[in-house]
Each structure stands twice: as structure tokens, then as C-alpha cells.
Copies of this chain bind each other. A is one copy, B any other.
């Protein structure tokens, strides 16, 4: 297998790409490019776990044309695992299909090995119970000739008498359930009422618990809190990659995809809607007992006629399972950045990408789930959080709803670093916001050895200032390299949370200068010219023998430049906002998002990611966007707060600020001017600081 001819292969959603010899299997190609695809059976074509989807069409961004014909012909074995409908969509088994031309390969969540470490657990935050959807139970008397009142009026009279609700509407789809439910419940029903206004569900008899999801739709990740809306308990958190990643990693790439492809907007919207439906499905699945392989009396696995193991439920003793369906979900709240908001709702995002960047709508929206194609309770509404501006969206509103900087005296700086950086500065007097193009580098993407936070990713590093020797630790292995055999490390790359560590250590050890350039006075053989491109300098973090990808993990001068651009953009934003606000220093810094959870505050300060601040006052607030979505799910007054915030935070377009470019150039330095960073003294050696 394999040939001399080469083909380009790109794996999504990881974005890993490279050239491979034609004739090798897709699984093999994934391995060479450092992508993990599940393959339980060891490519014996019997487990069906390595399903991938071959995308079709021309992908300008990568300069390739991908097509089903660029893979070897369909094999009989694939029929067992891939339905006709999936085949139509381009699904293949990775161990069967061979690369015969350029391919864009999408690896579905379930086929990915070493699943992403998602740290979007729910924080304990105080929430006032006042959901938009509430339940009421009423008992009626049956109609008679003397009192032939119709079902709906009979019920609403009882609701008014027993619960003081008046003027209630009812959704047509729920009205259709009414006569059956009333009689099944023998004239007792429970209704779900939305905003004291509309009946969106009717059950026979008495019902107490009901469910909802607060969802944070990020450019890269979609995460949801699945809540019991009566008890406010978070039943589970579920997450997935944003299925739109295949159209481009950042918001501008997706806006461009819309502008260049007729029907592109509808396609991207359908993908995320489909993803949200999967997420709801996934949340519901967790309310069932786990499935295990059925075994016979001798302990042998029972198989069906296709040779597949038969799965049976294995409930934990004493545990009750809710066994919920998507139709049991009564409310759903969604927060996302403005571009994701517009694409989800099929609102033309072109103008969000064009100065002066006006969004189509700021205010929150209540949209029937069925109109959006979301398969929860048919009459339910989806609450979509409001946008602040073209580049500061509902996700930022969520952060503010969770953190409420408008309620204190302290001057707070809130930083939300995703693929875009969003900044809010202020206190009860005034709040301003802005966005900055941090790019994906701060999250480890698009770097030569960047990868997701998965096993094998470097997450901590130390560099000896004397010898420039490197020690590090990877996700999935407790022992540092210095305590391991090289082979045991199975290193694959550097993840987002590791990237700042690496750079800060390179700087503190003197491997790089504050300009970001490599120090010519190198003390180890790790510094070299790239073998394929001698003009590019690089520093080896891990030698090939320590990796599972059979090549050195390096950081190049170009990688460093990318990170400098990202951190420079962020720092410039902070500085310009402080100038606007007329302040010299901030009291508190809060870092939201997954980045904030993983970043080492000290390293971030060393890198000059944000303005100088007492490290005691720098904290991570976790998935504040998700928290915001959860807060508005459980307390409808916070929906008004969200709208108030969205209209009262003043958005500042940084790129048109006087002095922007000079500030940006200066901010690329590590760390800018020592006068600005009194807290750095003692953390970074003086000789480095005073270069």
C-alpha cells in the first residue's frame, strides 16, 4: 500500500492537514497527521467505529477539491455499518476507504478517539427561581347540559380561580392535545405556562418536575446545561464541537462562506440546528441506564445475527432514571456571539462583517422551537439572548448577566477569550465593551504543533535557564518527561492551555527575547533551521522518539509571531478601553471561557496578555456564557436584565481609535514596558526583564 503520488488530506473539525501517499487508508492518513480516529477492531473492518464523512465540493480556503471519487470504491463490509442515507451523505469506513485524491474528511464526534476534555462543569451560582415556564395543576368538574362550557374555557376558568392566571393564550399544537389530556386525567390536568401568557403543554393529572437546557453556542464548542426547572438542579452538562467548523474555524471565515456560497447560510444554520438536536438527544440519553453487552450464563457475550453484541440496560441499584425524551424539554435558552447568532437564525451576517458592523437585531428573541426545527416540546419557545454589537454578542451578555459588573464600585475588566476576544470594562457608573481579533493562536489552533486538549497534548512545561533543556507533561499522563522513558510520553502536540506556558518559559529562560525573536545565544541543540524551510527558525519541544506521531514537536518563529499577534490584540484592547475610561489600572480581572479555566495567571501576566494587576485579583469565572444561559433559563427577570445590559453597554470599535496601530505594534512585545507591570518584578528574572 501507498504510492509515490501524493494527495492533500484535511481532517475536520481538528483542521489537521498534510500530504500523504495515495493508496493508504484514511485511518492511516489520520495517524500520520496526528488525528485520532476510533478503531477498536484494529482495522479488521468489523467494529464500524471509524466512520468518517467525505465532504464534497471545492474548498477555496484549502485550495482543494474533495469528492467521493477521490476515495477507493465502496466495499461490501461497509454496508453493515453505514446506512443508505449515510452513504448518500458521503460516509465511509476509515479503515476501508483509501485516499486516491485530495480529500476533506469530517470525523464525527462519535468516531473521535481520545475525546476532548471539556471542562464546562456547572458553577455554584445563586439563582432566583422564577423561570419563564411554570407548571400549574387544576381540577375541573365535567360539563353538563346546564354548564356545557368548552374544554379550554373550563380549564382557564379553573386556572384563574385556583392560580390567579388570567387572559391565557394557548398554542394551537397544545390545544390539539387538550380534549384527550383532560379526559385521560379525569378532569385534572397540569399545564406549562410560558411567561404567564401562553399554555405550551398540557399533561393529564399531576406533574411536578420539568426540564430545560441553557446552551452556549461557541464558534468552536457548543455546551449545554441540562436542568430540572423545578429544583434548579443541573442534571448534566453536555457538549460537542460546533458542526459548522468545517466551513471555517473563525467567524469571519463563516461569514465569507455565506457570502461566497448561495445557500451557504441555510446550510450552516441547518448544521447547527441539527447539532443542537443531537445535543438535546444526548442530554436525554443520559437519563437512561447505561447499556452494557449482554452475557450468557457462561459469561460469554451474546451476539445478534449480524455478529454484533446485544446491548442491555444496566441500571445502578437504588438509582432512578428519568428516561426523558426531547419532547420533555419545556424551555431552551441560547447565547452565542453575534455571528453565530445570525447564522443560527439565518439572519444575513454580511453586514456584521462590514464596517460599521451593525447586527440585524440586538434584542432577545422568543422563537417557536418548531420554527427553528428544534425537536423539543412542540409548542415551546426558544429564548435567544440579545446582542450588544456586531462583534460583541449574546455570549458576552451572558457573562455580564452572570458577573453583573454594573452592580459594584470596583473597576472590573472581564476578558472572554474564544476565537475572538471580547472585553468589558467598568463598574456601576459605566460599562464599555469591545472586541479584538485575537485569532485562534491563543487557543493553540493553526500553530505547527497545536492540537485540542486531548491525551498526548503538552499542557505544562519547564525550561532550564542554564541549559535550555526542556521538561514537560502531557494530558493523560501524570509523570513528567524527566521521570519517564521517551517512548512512554506518546506526545502529539501542544494544546491551547499549554501554548502560553511554552512561550512564557521560553521567554523566562531567555530562549526568546522580548521582541519575540529567538535569542541568538542558544544553549542547546534544540534551536535549528527548519529542515524543509531553512529561512524558518524553530525550537524543538519534544523529540520524535517521545511522540506518537513520529516527528519532532516544535515551536517556530512564525508560531511565536501568531501568538504575539493574538496577545497584542488583546492587550491593545485592554489599554485603549482603559484610556477611554480614563483609568490607569483595574481593580479586578475576570477571565471567562475555557481559556480562563486552563490558563496559568502568572504565565499570562508574564506574556502581557492583560494589564498589570495584583494576581490575587485575577480569577477565572469558568464558562460564564453557559452560566448566563442557565441563569436566564431559571430566572426570567434576568432576561430583562440581559436586554438592559445589551442596550446599555457602550460598544467601542477599537480599530478606529486614534493611535490604534502604534499601540498594537507596542503591545506585541513581551512584556511591553516594565513600568506598566510592577507585579512582574520577582516573577521574571531581572536580566530578562531589563533586556
Give me the interface of A with B, judged by CB distance under 8 Å.
143-145, 148-154, 170, 172-173, 175-176, 178-180, 345-348, 350-351, 355-363, 365, 367, 371-372, 387, 389-390, 651, 653, 656
Take A151-B358, A362-B153 as given contacts and tell me if A348 and B145 are in contact as well, using a CB distance cutoff of 8 Å: no
* CB-nearest residue of chain B to A384: B172
* CB-nearest residue of chain B to A149: B358
Show 26 residue pairs from A and B whose CB-CB distance is below 8 angstroms, ordered by the A residue: A143-B358, A144-B356, A145-B355, A145-B356, A145-B653, A145-B656, A148-B358, A149-B362, A150-B359, A150-B360, A150-B362, A150-B387, A151-B351, A151-B358, A151-B360, A152-B362, A153-B361, A153-B363, A170-B361, A172-B345, A172-B367, A178-B360, A179-B347, A179-B348, A179-B350, A180-B348
CA distance A347 to B171 in the complex (A): 12
Chain B residues within 8 Å of A151, by CB: 351, 358-361
Q: Is B347 in contact with A176, judged by CB distance below 8 angstroms?
A: yes
* CB-nearest residue of chain B to A183: B351
CA distance A274 to B620 in the complex (A): 58
* CB-nearest residue of chain B to A154: B358
Interface centre among A347, A355, A363 (most CB of B within 10 A): A347
Q: How far, in Å, is A659 (CB) from chain B's closest CB? A: 16
Q: How far, in Å, is A625 (CB) from chain B's closest CB? A: 20
CA distance A151 to B345 in the complex (A): 15
Chain B residues within 8 Å of A176, by CB: 345-348
Q: How far, in Å, is A417 (CB) from chain B's closest CB? A: 23
CA distance A356 to B390 in the complex (A): 59
Q: Is B347 in contact with A651, judged by CB distance below 8 angstroms?
A: no
Q: Is A653 in contact with B172, judged by CB distance below 8 angstroms?
A: no
Determine which of B180, B355, B361, B656 lies in contact with A150 in the assembled complex, contact meaning CB atoms within 8 Å.
B361
CA distance A320 to B389 in the complex (A): 46
The 8 closest A-B pairs by CB, nearest first: A152-B361, A150-B359, A143-B358, A148-B356, A179-B348, A145-B356, A150-B362, A172-B367
Chain B residues within 8 Å of A362, by CB: 149-150, 152-153
Determine which of B149, B347, B355, B356 lies in contact with A175 in the assembled complex, contact meaning CB atoms within 8 Å.
B347
Chain B residues within 8 Å of A350, by CB: 179
Q: How far, in Å, is A352 (CB) from chain B's closest CB? A: 9
Chain B residues within 8 Å of A180, by CB: 348
Q: Is B143 in contact with A361, judged by CB distance below 8 angstroms?
A: no
CA distance A180 to B350 in the complex (A): 10
CA distance A348 to B345 in the complex (A): 34
Chain B residues within 8 Å of A345, by CB: 172, 175-176
Chain B residues within 8 Å of A143, by CB: 356, 358
Q: Is B360 in contact with A152, judged by CB distance below 8 angstroms?
A: yes
* CB-nearest residue of chain B to A150: B359
CA distance A543 to B33 in the complex (A): 95
Interface centre among A145, A178, A180, A365 (most CB of B within 10 A): A145
Q: How far, in Å, is A232 (CB) from chain B's closest CB? A: 29
Interface centre among A144, A359, A389, A390 (most CB of B within 10 A): A359
CA distance A159 to B424 in the complex (A): 31
Q: How far, in Å, is A615 (CB) from chain B's closest CB? A: 36
CA distance A175 to B371 in the complex (A): 13
CA distance A365 to B148 in the complex (A): 20
* CB-nearest residue of chain B to A653: B145
Chain B residues within 8 Å of A172, by CB: 345, 365, 367, 371-372
Q: How far, in Å, is A461 (CB) from chain B's closest CB? A: 42
* CB-nearest residue of chain B to A156: B363
Q: Is A175 in contact with B357, judged by CB distance below 8 angstroms?
A: no
* CB-nearest residue of chain B to A359: B150
Chain B residues within 8 Å of A359, by CB: 150-151
Q: How far, in Å, is A348 (CB) from chain B's closest CB? A: 5
Q: Assuming A149-B358, A150-B362, what are 7 further A-B pairs, CB within 8 angstroms?
A: A143-B358, A148-B357, A152-B360, A152-B362, A175-B347, A176-B348, A179-B360
CA distance A358 to B355 in the complex (A): 60
CA distance A150 to B338 in the complex (A): 11
CA distance A111 to B653 in the complex (A): 66
CA distance A363 to B360 in the complex (A): 36
Chain B residues within 8 Å of A357, by CB: 148
CA distance A656 to B145 in the complex (A): 8
Q: How far, in Å, is A316 (CB) from chain B's closest CB? A: 40
Q: Is B148 in contact with A653, judged by CB distance below 8 angstroms?
A: yes
CA distance A150 to B356 in the complex (A): 10
Q: How far, in Å, is A25 (CB) from chain B's closest CB? A: 43
Q: Is A175 in contact with B145, judged by CB distance below 8 angstroms?
A: no
Q: How far, in Å, is A328 (CB) from chain B's closest CB? A: 22
CA distance A144 to B656 in the complex (A): 12
Chain B residues within 8 Å of A361, by CB: 150-153, 170, 175, 178
CA distance A179 to B145 in the complex (A): 56
Q: How far, in Å, is A132 (CB) from chain B's closest CB? A: 15
* CB-nearest residue of chain B to A173: B371
Interface centre among A143, A175, A179, A371 (most CB of B within 10 A): A179
Interface centre among A148, A176, A355, A358 (most CB of B within 10 A): A358
CA distance A151 to B387 in the complex (A): 12
Chain B residues within 8 Å of A358, by CB: 143, 148-151, 154
Chain B residues within 8 Å of A348, by CB: 176, 179-180
CA distance A213 to B148 in the complex (A): 32
CA distance A176 to B367 in the complex (A): 13
* CB-nearest residue of chain B to A387: B150
Chain B residues within 8 Å of A653, by CB: 145, 148
